[in-house]
Structures are given as C-alpha cells and as structure tokens.
Amino acid sequence: NAGVTQTPKFQVLKTGQSMTLQCAQDMNHEYMSWYRQDPGMGLRLIHYSVGAGITDQGEVPNGYNVSRSTTEDFPLRLLSAAPSQTSVYFCASSYSTQGIYGYTFGSGTRLTVV
Amino acid sequence: DAKTTQPNSMESNEEEPVHLPCNHSTISGTDYIHWYRQLPSQGPEYVIHGLTSNVNNRMASLAIAEDRKSSTLILHRATLRDAAVYYCILRDRTSGSRLTFGEGTQLTVNP
C-alpha cells in the first residue's frame, strides 16, 4: 500500500497565485485532514473531512478551501497565496474519528510564498 | 480536548533505554493516549496508543499510570534514528475526536 501520498513535495508561489495541494490515500480511510507546520512549531489543523461530501474547518482555515468528492482524495486549495502561508503542509488520514484508531501522515508539501 | 504536558527536550545515549513522560491530569475516562513522533523533515509517525493497560509493540512500550493522569513512552534501546520530536496526544473514544498537537518533546540521542 502507498499509504498517504502528497504532491507536490516542494512548491514556490508568488503572492496572489492560487494552487492545489493534492492528497490521496489508498487505505479506504473515512477521515482525512490537513495540517500546517510552521518552523519550530507543532502542527495546526486547517480543515478535515469525516467522509465523502463532508468537510469542516479546523483551527486555521482562513485562506484555504477543501472538498471531498471521493473517499480517496482530499485536495487543499490556496485561493490567493500570501507569505504567511509559507509552511509545510501535511495530510493525514484515519479509519475513523474514534480515538481507538491512529493516523497515517503523508510526507508533506513544503510551500514557499514569495 | 484535554491538555497534555511534556518536557521540551530530553537527551539519551545510544543503546540505553529512554523514558519520555507525559502528564494529562484532566484526562477523561473515554480518552485514548496516543503517541506520535516526527523525524527531521518527515511527517508525524504513529508510535503507540492505549487506554488503561500498558501496551507494547515493535517500536515502543506505553506505561499508563493507575489513575491515568500520566503516561510514559519507553524506547527500550535508543538508536540515532530515534532522535525526533515525540508528541503525546489524547483522543476521545467516541466519534468526532480530532488530533490536536502540542509542542512535544525533542529527543536527542548521543552516540
């Protein structure tokens, strides 16, 4: 199994540009989420989804959109990139939101906005 | 979500055991204790989790206090590859629980 696959691994954007970070999982996990990690800090939740067609906001949702049309994919869209969005982005999935299940993380997308 | 408290950093020597503590005095009866680690330039990696009883797997052991207000992640023989940030996180047993990260403990392993 590939697990959680994120693309691209690196990206440089100019301020105001838009882009989509891709996340795909092949484990039939219902729960998927996006985190950002700024240098020297812990992870903060951006958006999450408990199943296809259902999304909700996390701690820091402003400037980002998500959709979940399939179980496998959960793309994160930056509408108009800003330097404050320079960060490493991680996608994570879990079989369920119940606490008995662990999360699987992708390897991350390192985004720089200039 | 209930809060956890971990030391900012710890050091260990290679091939020695490491005990990483976590305090969670406000834990509820339905909270699972999860541990993740993040190696440099990588995504977090699941290590272990438990509810009440001590747990063992190929990566580590989890010792949970009888009152569940604290827990300890035990790496039996630290290697250089174990140098990482270790996060202790509580997740409710019921649906709707999200993974909320704190600052974690930076583990340094000396050769």
* pLDDT (tens digit per residue) in B43-61: 999 999 999 999 999 999 9
User: Residue A87: pLDDT above 80?
Assistant: yes
How far away is chain B from the Cα of A6, in angstroms, using its nearest Cα?
A: 11
User: Residue A101: pLDDT above 90?
Assistant: no
Residue count (chain A): 114
- Asked if B99 and A92 come within 8 Å (Cβ–Cβ), the reply is yes
What mean pLDDT is predicted for residues A83-94? 96
Res A37: pLDDT? 95
- Asked if B42 and A107 come within 8 Å (Cβ–Cβ), the reply is yes
- Asked if B31 and A99 come within 8 Å (Cβ–Cβ), the reply is yes
- Asked if A98 and B95 come within 8 Å (Cβ–Cβ), the reply is yes
Residues of chain B contacting residue A50, judged by C-beta atoms under 8 Å apart: 95-96
Lowest mean pLDDT among A52-66, A73-87, B67-81, B90-104: B90-104
Res A106: pLDDT? 96
Residues of chain A contacting residue B100, judged by C-beta atoms under 8 Å apart: 45
Give which of A59, A31, A63 is closest to A47, Cα–Cα.
A59
Cα–Cα distances in angstroms (integers) from residue B43 to residues A9, A80, B14, in the given order: 12, 25, 23
Pairing label, strands B45-50, B31-38 = antiparallel
What mean pLDDT is predicted for residues B30-44? 93
Residues of chain B contacting residue A98, judged by C-beta atoms under 8 Å apart: 93-95, 97
Q: What's chain B's average pLDDT?
A: 92
Give the Cα separation of B87 and B100 in Å (integer): 10
Burial of B87 from C-beta contacts in 10 A (0-12 / 13-18 / 19+): buried
Dihedral (CA of A79, A17, A41, A51) sign: positive
Give the Cα separation of A77 and B5 in Å (integer): 33
User: Residue B92: pLDDT above 90?
Assistant: no
Find, in chain B, the residue whose alpha carbon is nearest to that of A41: B103
- Asked if B94 and A92 come within 8 Å (Cβ–Cβ), the reply is no
- Asked if A103 and B46 come within 8 Å (Cβ–Cβ), the reply is yes
